[in-house]
Amino acid sequence: MTTDVLIIGAGPAGLALAAALCDAGLRVEGVTPTDPTTPWRNTYGIWEDELPSPEFASMLSHRWSDCVAYAGGQTLRLERIYGLFDNRRLQAHLLHRCTRAGMRWHRQPAQWAEHTATHTEVTLQDGSLVRARLVVDASGHTPVFVKRPLAIEIAYQAAYGVVGAFTRPPVRPGRLVLMDYRSDHLSSEERRAEPPTFLYAMDLGDDRYFVEETSLAHAPAVPFEMLKTRLHRRLAHLGCTVAEVEHEEYCLFPMNMPVPYLDQPVLGYGGAASMVHPASGYQVGAALRLAAPLAQTLARALSAANASPQQAIRAGWEVLWSQERLRKHQLYLFGLQTLLSLSEAQLQQFFARFFRLPVRLWGGYLSNTLTTAEIMQTMGRVFLAAPMQLRWALIREAMRHPKPLLRAAGLLPILHTPSVI
């Protein structure tokens, strides 16, 4: 039996796409090393306006309308609603859509793939074979099949967090703190010489809070020990300590993995397709939103007369990485590079200007819903609002690494190194 699509991986990206493919009427099978119902351990946050449909609002365990950021000596109100997923409900919802379509899961890691003109045969760890017209690799940031150009310098988002009870509220009750860059608890030498980190924190109700010391991006990754020490020092400065630990989160993932080769014989999705937003680290919203359009494109391509898997895979990559998306990605890479080059003080000035833009611009920038021209406008407005010293730092960065900007402006082609197939 050859199924239509084989999904490798049952994380948020794999399950979102599997559910959408089942809805689109395709025959879908999945491969996952553990049961697909195995709970996801990460805490997944999302802006409410990023949810693909109102139905998903019921899969949030928490919502905050009191959202703030602290940067540059200011408290910046973020006029947007932020939510935290109830992973169990989200996972159950996606799995239900798979199960009602009769989707079957193979509980083995995928190890090897053999491609022909009509199908791909995947070998699992126990030696069994699964055949599909098309394979989607959604196995995370270190994909089993998707090939990408060699990465030169990868920046990582790293964070250490605690869900638990505290001797005093670490943030104002009812509040979500997206970024607290205040650093009075550090010495001036630490602020100057060490990577900047911020607090991401929220009130979970019932006297429970989630606090996480986060390095937005750094190459190499900021070590967990440093994040842990900083979190406890910050809490002490706020006058509280952890009274009871319910869950500890160790977060580490790459922000700027190269875009995969777009002419390879498998399609990627989620972390495997480098879908992480390079300037924010968010991805789950994109994986949920793009699942339906991608599934419909694949269903159309596979049902066309003389359909070939290669054509369907190309059409799929085009949804994920169209020229427009590639150009926007270049701007986000420039944004990431700029953030990496700024001192702690400059970073604070930068975010103080960024979050004072109209919500349509800063929100669209973070959610990747702006056009290339709008992203440029957003960046231009931050530049114009910036103090002179920060402007010089931004100009220096643009002159040192002009290629992403030139590529985004269409003045340099967006090249992909030759394919490995």
Ligand X SMILES: Cc1cc2nc3c(=O)[nH]c(=O)nc-3n(C[C@H](O)[C@H](O)[C@H](O)COP(=O)(O)OP(=O)(O)OC[C@H]3O[C@@H](n4cnc5c(N)ncnc54)[C@H](O)[C@@H]3O)c2cc1C
Query: CB-wise, 329 or 353, nearer to ligand X?
Result: 329
What are the residues whose beta carbons fall under 8 Å from the beta carbon of 327, sequence distance 6 or more?
A: 372, 407, 408, 410, 414
30 close to 5: Cβ distance less than 8 angstroms: no
Phi, psi of 311 (to 5 degrees): -65, -40
Residue of 273, 272, 286 whose CA lies nearest to 368: 286
What distance, in Å, lies between the first and last C-alpha atoms of the chain? Answer: 26
Q: Residue 162 forms beta bridges with which residues?
A: 211, 248
CB of 24 to ligand X, least distance (A): 19
User: 396 vs 235, 379, 393, CA distance in Å?
Assistant: 36, 15, 5
Q: Residue 346 or residue 367: which is nearer to ligand X going by CB? A: 367
Give me the least distance between CB of 284 and ligand X, in Å please: 4
Least distance (Å) between residue 271 CB and ligand X: 3
CB of 34 vs ligand X, minimal distance in Å: 6
Residue placing its CB nearer to ligand X in the complex, 321 or 386: 321
Site residues (CB under 6 A) for ligand X?
Answer: 8-14, 31-33, 42, 44-45, 109-110, 138-140, 144, 249, 251, 253, 270-271, 282-285
Residue with smaller CB distance to ligand X, 14 or 195: 14
400, 418, 349: which is closest to 149 by C-alpha? 418
CA dist 111 → 130, 139, 263, 265 (Å)? 11, 11, 21, 15
Q: How far is the CB of 94 from ligand X (least distance, A)?
A: 11
Decide whether 44 or 64 has the Cβ nearer to ligand X: 44
Least separation in angstroms between residue 104's CB and ligand X is 14
* Closest CB to ligand X: residue number: 11
Nearer to ligand X, 171 or 386 (CB): 171
The CA-CA-CA angle for residues 32, 36, 37, to 5°, reads 155
